[in-house]
Amino acid sequence: MGLFGLFKSKEEKFRTHVRDCFDESVKDVIKEHRDTIKDPFLGGMMVQAAIGSVYQSLKNDPKLSLFANMSNFNPYEIIEEECQRALKKYLE
User: Would you call 19 exposed, middle or buried from its count of C-beta atoms within 10 A (0-12, 13-18, 19+)?
Assistant: middle
Is the Cα dihedral 62, 69, 59, 83 positive or negative?
Answer: negative
Residue pair 11/77 in contact by the 8 Å Cβ criterion: no
pLDDT band at 92 (very low <50, low <70, confident <90, very high): confident
Q: What is the CA radius of gyration of the chain?
A: 15
- Greater confidence (4 vs 1) lies with 4
Q: What is the pLDDT of residue 2?
A: 60
Q: Model's pTM, two decimal places?
A: 0.88
- Greater confidence (7 vs 61) lies with 61
Residue pair 47/26 in contact by the 8 Å Cβ criterion: yes
